[in-house]
Structure 1
Amino acid sequence: MRKVCRSWALIMIVILLASPALGVEAGKMTPEKETAVKWLDTHAAVGAETATYIWHNPELGLGEHKSSAILQEMLKEAGFKVESGTAGMETAFVASWGAGKPVIGIHAEYDALPGLSQAAGVAEEKILVEGCPGHGCGHNLFGTYSSMAAIAIKKAMEEHGIKGTVKLYGTPSEETLVGKAFFVKEGIYKDADAVLSWHPGTENSVSYASSLAMDNFKVRFHGKASHAASAPWAGRSALDAVELMNIGMNYMREHVRPESRIMYCIPDGGKAPNVVPPYSEVWYFIRAPQYKMVKEIVDWSKKVAEGAALMTQTRMEFVPITAVWQYLPNQALAKVGFANALLIGTPPFTDEDEKIAEPFSKSLKEEKGPFLSREFKKFEYNKPFSWATGGGSIDEANTSWVVPMVRFTGSTLAKGTPGHSWQSVAQNILQPAFKASLTVSKYMAATALDLFADPMLLEAALTELKTSNEKHGPFVDPVKGVDLPSFKLMHNVEESQVPVQTKGDMPLPDFSTLK
């Protein structure tokens, strides 16, 4: 089986190298790449220690103080210049090394999800701290191993005299689609020539796919309180307005494209049944394959909200939080990335890793192994991409319209594991997750080194980006007039009210070997 996989990989490398979009060295092992890969293997323990530390300190978006600080310290120890508070966000930062062009960036995320506390490595639901966040999307891995890739690139640049700049973009609050959207708004990527990113998952791939565009907003209704039994005529129910809006939105569903998604919850529906609610709010996510479709639904939603306010004699307040376009794939960079992924190969899982993954897959009714992916998901890199018709939304979609991007995925999770689940939290601190993440670090490092080596690759990627903007855009920043949201606006609680999981006796990672 391994011989077949190797033969297929070699055939794919030959095909990709024959493409005019790739340079002579793209997808080939070079001394520079060997240096980066060797450094990553030598320092694998540091990556695992850092990812473990962040896993034990899960924090919600814009409140990732410990997670952001530990990554900044890691990069400083490795010789990067770190600037924090980027784009007005306390937990955002940019770490840079080198000088001049080209500038190759790497994304790092580190926020957790609300209410997903789960014991490490336990294949049954077991809460550690009630109500505490948990790393159900693997951002403890994302932030750590992106940083590892950036350091490996720096080491190769130093040893081989490569000119240019590598930047690590520490972007908070991805789960609420804030960090990178506001990086774009504030022009943080203006000097970047390409940006590399990745995400933990159940497959190994170099994405050539889009994502759904999304708008994230709240509607607040202000009414008048009164005794709900003795004087209801004196009150005006804000909750009635929310309910009428939701009814209108549900009737709207029949008349929007079937690929659209309209989701809501009611964070505040009043305080007691015997008081006419003077205040109530509803929170909406609107998704569709393209942002122009999202905007049509949002504009209609505002009219529905206005109608609900008129019917209830309440005052309506529309509160935008954030918005993102659909992700714009870049064929030129995807080909370079895939050539390097094939060069490095899939994660080196063992039989022991399979035993670790098996109970998690079986908890999800996946009975047949292998339980960890040893294959690459295939995209048709030589054909035009299609807009997504399902799935989620990502804040780096906005980034992809202003700078060429390539996105990797590593099989950090057992087969069948959904994101944002307790099974995901439990696995994101285990050896298979660390192995897959380290492998993706190698993909990113090798790809970045190809881009430094061959200016024609970056030129092709930029030309494609301009062409895509002309064909599908132009990109109009959907948060241009939107204020940076507060922690409470996004999470409906004050930061001080979020339960903490911190493991008190846990030592800080040892970064002394990174100097």
Structure 2
Amino acid sequence: MESKTSAIGWVDDNLERLSNDHLTIWNYHEPSWREYKSARWYVERLRAEGFAVEEGSGEMPTAFCAKWSNKANGGKAGPVIGGYAEYDAIPGRSQAAVPYRKPRAGVSKYAAGHTDPHSGLGIGALAGFLAAKYAMEKHGIAGTLVFLGEPAEKMCGSKPVHAAKGYYDELDAAISFHPHSFQALSNGCFWDTHSAPYWSRIYTFECNEPETWQSQQSAAAVAHLHSAARAPGAIDAVCLMYTSSKYLKEAMLPHTGSWSLNEFIPIAGLAAADNIAPVLSQIQYSLRAPDIEMCERVFAVLDNNAAHCAAMTHCSMESAWITKTRAGLPNHAMAELTFRNFELVGPPRWNDEARTFAREIQKNLGIAPMDDPFAPETQRLSPPWEAEKSFRAQLPPWQKNLAADDYVEYTWHAPTVRLYVSRPTLVPPNPGYRYPDWCRYAMMGTPACIDPMWSTAGKVIGATILDLVTDRTGLERARAEFRERTGGGVGGSRWVSPLLPRDFRPPIHYRWPEYVSTVRGEEWTIPTEKKGTA
């Protein structure tokens, strides 16, 4: 198709500019809910490209919703195709783009860094949508492109909010792209086994009336009774919550199904004086579980634990959802259509510059540098139906979903494909060896290593969009499968509605890690060490 040739050529023609764009986002390395610079960059870029952009979509300051339409064929706008950028980084993963372990200069070594990387995810998706837009204008193809900014993916944060507030309702189809996470699915698409639910809840403990802990006891007729018993307070509450839930963790779900429960303590007492009860603490729990029923079971236990921990420590307790996602819904028609375009484009190809950088990593780790340091699986295509066999071999028959990602929200509003493209992955020197994570992070910020990944994704996405807006038979096949799987489409008998209410307040107001500006300069929430200081 001539329009596909135009889209693929656009990515090649703009490769240098897009590579610089990727480094811009990579160098911002902003964490979840605090991606201010990254979101602003996308908003400005999309407006410059002719998109109408809503900033702060879904009441989320670092989210956006951009739309562009090309009317043809008598003024009809054509199908509506959705996609998105992510741009959040992970705290504690700071790494410079060098072939040895070195945190980024100028920030705390505990600052955020791009790992998957979402910097490449976002630029790859953007490249695909801009390439499709170029081809649609050049060849007079009707259609509407909706490109969303999705912050806080590492918390599965924004997509459940956008879904609940109706941002996906108009989509005819959607494309979700991610750098590869599974070796068996290096360059391909999910088939049947999509991502599982991810639920997260935060518990807040407050000790607002410590004086009533033992109100009848009086050690002396003075204010501030230093010798009186002190209420346990909020630190004890969060410690009890952590330990009691940890003790019960192995009993919450069966020892199968690949589930995980993790904790984060954003506030622990506010550094109270030694004789004053700590007044405030918080703990967040994040759960990946194979199905919604399991999520409900775990959080029933956690809610019960929190109420008892509050009672034991003379605190009040409030709980609030951070996120609740559904399980991903497959669509074979979308996967087949997208994989055909992957066959047209081919897998990523790394040049000598990339291999030289990878060999330097190996050399610095005491590993004999290899002629080709990149894994062969990442340099060939993975047919979705073949990769599916690898997933099923490691899962119990009853488990239908694995891992977690909030792209699943799109799958319940329109036929959606989950595209994976290989990022550079090093060959282990012997079976069972695992490279330090910094190796991967360093390659993510090195253009020769990471550009083949996102540029390949951009070409596949652009070509797939063009199929969706020109091949009405292919799009209808995907929509028919969506209706069949949901029992009639949105609102059908097997459709699962958003798990958050439409008036949900996005959790942007909590004490998430972020960069702050002080008289000392811009710092991470953990101060940056200065020369000459401890």
TM-score range (shorter-chain normalised) is 0.7 to 0.9
Match of 1:491 in 2: 512
Pairing 1:377–2:382 present: yes
Give per-residue Cα distances to partners, 1:289-319, cap 9 Å, x unaligned: 1123212211232122222223334222112
Match of 2:303 in 1: 302
User: Are the structure 2 counterparts of residues 52 and 493 from structure 1 closer, same or farther at C-alpha, using a change threshold of 3 Å?
Assistant: closer
Which shows bigger deviation, 308-317 or 159-168? 308-317
User: C-alpha separation between the residues in 1 aligned to 2:440 and 2:509?
Assistant: 26
Pairing 1:40–2:34 present: no
Asked if structure 1 preserves the Cα contact closer than 8 Å seen for 2:515 and 2:524, the reply is: no
The AA in structure 2 aligned to 1:325 is R
Give per-residue Cα distances to partners, 1:2-32, cap 9 Å, x unaligned: xxxxxxxxxxxxxxxxxxxxxxxxxxxx111
Q: What TM-score do the two structures reach when normalised by structure 2?
A: 0.80
408, 417, 425: which is aligned to 2:419?
408
Match of 2:90 in 1: 113
Asked if structure 1 preserves the Cα contact closer than 8 Å seen for 2:252 and 2:297, the reply is: no
Q: What secondary structure, in the 3-state scheme, does the structure 2 residue paired with 1:265 have?
A: strand
Match of 2:500 in 1: 479
Asked if structure 2 preserves the Cα contact closer than 8 Å seen for 1:181 and 1:323, the reply is: yes
Q: What secondary structure, in the 3-state scheme, does the structure 1 residue paired with 2:322 have?
A: strand
420, 424, 438: which is aligned to 2:440?
424
User: Are the structure 2 counterparts of residues 429 and 342 from structure 1 closer, same or farther at C-alpha, using a change threshold of 3 Å?
Assistant: same
Asked if structure 2 preserves the Cα contact closer than 8 Å seen for 1:108 and 1:147, the reply is: yes
Pairing 1:70–2:45 present: no
1:381, distance to aligned residue in structure 2 (A): 6.8
Q: What TM-score do the two structures reach when normalised by structure 1?
A: 0.82
Give 1:43-62 correspondences, 5 Å limit.
43-62=14-33
Asked if structure 2 preserves the Cα contact closer than 8 Å seen for 1:102 and 1:165, the reply is: yes
Give 1:264-279 correspondences, 5 Å limit.
264-270=263-269, 271=271, 274-279=275-280
Match of 1:511 in 2: none
User: Are the structure 2 counterparts of residues 422 and 321 from structure 1 closer, same or farther at C-alpha, using a change threshold of 3 Å?
Assistant: same
Pairing 1:344–2:345 present: yes
1:36, distance to aligned residue in structure 2 (A): 0.5
Pairing 1:186–2:170 present: no
Give 1:10-409 correspondences, 5 Å limit.
30-98=1-69, 99=71, 100-128=77-105, 129-130=107-108, 131-201=110-180, 203-208=186-191, 209-223=193-207, 224-225=209-210, 230-232=227-229, 234-249=230-245, 250-258=247-255, 259=257, 260-270=259-269, 271=271, 274-360=275-361, 369-372=372-375, 373-380=378-385, 387=399, 390-391=402-403, 393-409=404-420
1:213, distance to aligned residue in structure 2 (A): 1.0
Which shows bigger deviation, 445-454 or 476-485? 476-485
1:276, distance to aligned residue in structure 2 (A): 3.4
1:496, distance to aligned residue in structure 2 (A): 5.0
User: C-alpha separation between the residues in 1 aligned to 2:362 and 2:251?
Assistant: 37
1:483, distance to aligned residue in structure 2 (A): 3.3
Match of 1:6 in 2: none
User: C-alpha separation between the residues in 2 aligned to 1:123 and 1:237?
Assistant: 45
Instruction: Give the number of equivalent residue pairs.
Output: 470
The AA in structure 2 aligned to 1:192 is L
Asked if structure 1 preserves the Cα contact closer than 8 Å seen for 2:515 and 2:523, the reply is: no
User: C-alpha separation between the residues in 2 aligned to 1:151 and 1:420?
Assistant: 35
User: Are the structure 2 counterparts of residues 397 and 344 from structure 1 closer, same or farther at C-alpha, using a change threshold of 3 Å?
Assistant: same
The AA in structure 2 aligned to 1:426 is A
Q: What secondary structure, in the 3-state scheme, does the structure 2 residue paired with 1:175 have?
A: helix
Q: CA RMSD in A?
A: 3.1
Asked if structure 1 preserves the Cα contact closer than 8 Å seen for 2:165 and 2:502, the reply is: no
Asked if structure 2 preserves the Cα contact closer than 8 Å seen for 1:212 and 1:287, the reply is: yes
State, as a whole percentage, how many aligned pairs show the same letter: 29
Q: What secondary structure, in the 3-state scheme, does the structure 2 residue paired with 1:310 have?
A: helix
Match of 2:529 in 1: none
1:212, distance to aligned residue in structure 2 (A): 2.6
Give per-residue Cα distances to partners, 1:228-285, cap 9 Å, x unaligned: 98333x4143333333333432325324133332221333333255543332222111
Which shows bigger deviation, 329-338 or 133-142? 133-142
472, 479, 489: which is aligned to 1:462?
479
Which shows bigger deviation, 199-208 or 150-159? 199-208
The AA in structure 2 aligned to 1:182 is V
User: C-alpha separation between the residues in 2 aligned to 1:483 and 1:500?
Assistant: 29
User: C-alpha separation between the residues in 2 aligned to 1:328 and 1:366?
Assistant: 42
> Unpaired segments of 5 or more residues in structure 1?
1-29, 502-515
1:205, distance to aligned residue in structure 2 (A): 2.3
User: C-alpha separation between the residues in 2 aligned to 1:376 and 1:361?
Assistant: 26
The AA in structure 1 aligned to 2:300 is D
User: Are the structure 2 counterparts of residues 283 and 412 from structure 1 closer, same or farther at C-alpha, using a change threshold of 3 Å?
Assistant: same
Which shows bigger deviation, 163-172 or 251-260? 251-260
1:360, distance to aligned residue in structure 2 (A): 4.2
Bigger Rg, structure 1 or 2: 2
User: C-alpha separation between the residues in 1 aligned to 2:310 and 2:234?
Assistant: 8
The AA in structure 2 aligned to 1:220 is T
Match of 1:445 in 2: 462
Give per-residue Cα distances to partners, 1:421-450, cap 9 Å, x unaligned: 433332222212112210111111111111
User: C-alpha separation between the residues in 1 aligned to 2:286 and 2:365?
Assistant: 28
1:358, distance to aligned residue in structure 2 (A): 3.4
1:215, distance to aligned residue in structure 2 (A): 1.1
The AA in structure 2 aligned to 1:212 is A
User: C-alpha separation between the residues in 1 aligned to 2:451 and 2:253?
Assistant: 42
User: C-alpha separation between the residues in 2 aligned to 1:462 and 1:365?
Assistant: 53
Q: What secondary structure, in the 3-state scheme, does the structure 2 residue paired with 1:499 have?
A: strand
Asked if structure 2 preserves the Cα contact closer than 8 Å seen for 1:204 and 1:409, the reply is: yes
User: C-alpha separation between the residues in 1 aligned to 2:334 and 2:465?
Assistant: 10
1:420, distance to aligned residue in structure 2 (A): 11
1:500, distance to aligned residue in structure 2 (A): 6.7
Q: What secondary structure, in the 3-state scheme, does the structure 1 residue paired with 2:91 have?
A: coil
Asked if structure 2 preserves the Cα contact closer than 8 Å seen for 1:253 and 1:262, the reply is: no
